[in-house]
Structure 1
Amino acid sequence: MECVFGLVGDGFAVLAADTSAVNSILVHKSNEDKIMVLDSHKLVAASGEPGDRVQFTEYVQKNVALYQFRNGIPLTTPAAANFMRGELATALRKNPYSVNILLAGYDKETGPLLYFIDYIATLHKVDKGAFGYGSYFSLSIMDRLYRSGMSLEEAIDLVDKCIMEIRSRLVVAPPNFVIKIVDKDGAREYAWRESLKDAPGASA
């Protein structure tokens, strides 16, 4: 029951993901961070088979770092997106990765960007996107309430609305979510949404 979604606002991009590590009917942990900091100004949120998700995102992270080390400049967000798309396309014909990716980044020339990359190497630049069962609800809410140029406060409020809808509608809803943002100041964690702490009436 994975839930990964994100959107682009005025000068930033925000990603949110559930933190449950699940296998069949078992929940192994509820603090799994599925949003990786790719470099100083890029975030990768991934869903899919846990082994493929971890292996592929770490592989991309190390190759992006290697490129910057060799050339002295970081990959742009579109270049990183196309690199990931190429690796998924190559693997598709050999040993496919079962992983879906939202890549958020900030470049000085273009500002914030969000890319949608699925397991069959489809690549799209989008303003909002989602993967997993939670996408059924988060996409419909974002279709209705998202608008370009949202402030950070408005975007976080929209993310919270998506999380609340997922929790109330999904049969087996993940309890915890992590939210990260990337802007001109870099990629960083913004907040966690933990069901016990932010539930109505919960003690601070």
Structure 2
Amino acid sequence: MECVFGMVGNGFSLVVADSSAVHSILVHKSNEDKIMILDSHKLMGASGEAGDRAQFTEYVQKNVALYQFRNGIPLTTAATANFTRGELATALRKNPYMVNIILAGYDKETGPSLYYIDYIATLHKVDKAAFGYGSYFSLAMMDRHYRKDMTVEEAVDLADKCIIEIRSRLVVAPPNFVIKIVDKDGAREYAWRESVKDAPVSNI
């Protein structure tokens, strides 16, 4: 029952993801961070098989860092999106990654942007996007309330409306979500929306 969604506002991009690590009918943990900070001004929200998600997002993160180390300049968000798509397309013919990605970034020249990349290497630049079962409700809410000139506060309020809708309508809804933002000041964690706390680990 994974859910990842994002949107572009006035001078920023926002990505929201559930934080449940699930296998079959078991919830292993409810504080899994599924939004990776690729570099100072890029976020990658991912959904899919846990192993593929972790391996592929780390692979992209390290290659983005390698490019900057070798060339002295960071990849743009568009270049990162195309690199990610290329790697998914190459893997598709060998050993495909079951991972869907929302890539958000901020570039000095072009401002904020958001890219939709699915597991069969489809790439689109969009204003809003969502993956997972929660996408049925989050996309509906964003279609109704989204505006391109939204402030951070308005976008977070809309994200909260999406989270409430997902929690109230999905039979098995993820309880916790993480919200991250990228703007001219960089990529950072903004807030958590938690309704369940993981129990402390016993020393026994």
TM-score when scaled to structure 1? 0.96
2:3 is aligned to 3
Note the alpha carbon deviations across 1:61-110, whole angstroms, 9 max, x for none. Answer: 00000000000000000000000000000000000000000000000000
Instruction: Report the identity percentage.
Output: 84
Please name the residue that 1:22 is paired with: 22
Q: 1:13: which partner in 2?
A: 13
Flag structure 2 segments of 5+ consecutive residues without an equivalent. Answer: 198-204
Equivalent residue runs for 1:161-176 within 5 Å: 161-176=161-176
For residues 149 and 39 of structure 1, the distance between their equivalents in structure 2, rounded to whole angstroms, comes to: 25
Shift, 1:196, TM fit: 4.9
Residue 79 of structure 2 corresponds to 79
Match of 1:50 in 2: 50
Equivalences for residues 153-192 of structure 1 within 5 A: 153-192=153-192
The one-letter code matched in structure 2 to 1:125 is K
Measure, in 2, the Cα distance between the counterparts of 1:103 and 1:152.
Answer: 18
Partner of 1:200: none
In 1, distance between residues paired with 2:110 and 2:82? Answer: 16
Q: Tell me which amino acid in the other structure corresponds to 1:184.
A: K
Matches of 1:30 and 1:196 in 2, distance apart?
A: 7
1:91-144 CA-to-partner distances (Å, cap 9, x unmatched) read 000000000000000000000000000000000000000000000100000001
For structure 1, the 5+ residue unaligned runs are 198-204
SS in 1 for 2:102: strand
Tell me the secondary structure at the aligned position of residue 195 of structure 1: coil
Partner of 1:93: 93
Report the Cα distance in structure 2 between the residues aligned to 1:152 and 1:190, rounded to whole angstroms.
10
Q: What is the aligned-residue RMSD (CA, Å)?
A: 0.8
Aligned match of 2:137: 137
2:124 is matched with 124
In structure 1, what residue type is equivalent to 2:123?
Answer: L
Task: Tell me the matched-pair count.
Answer: 197
CA-CA distance at 1:147 after TM superposition:
1.0
1:111 and 2:142 correspond:
no
CA distance, structure 1, for counterparts of residue 10 and residue 128 of structure 2? 13
2:59 pairs with 1:62? no
- The answer to whether the 8 Å contact 2:30/2:196 transfers is no
SS at match of 2:94: coil
Q: In structure 2, how many angstroms separate the alpha carbons of the residues matched to 1:15 and 1:168?
A: 20
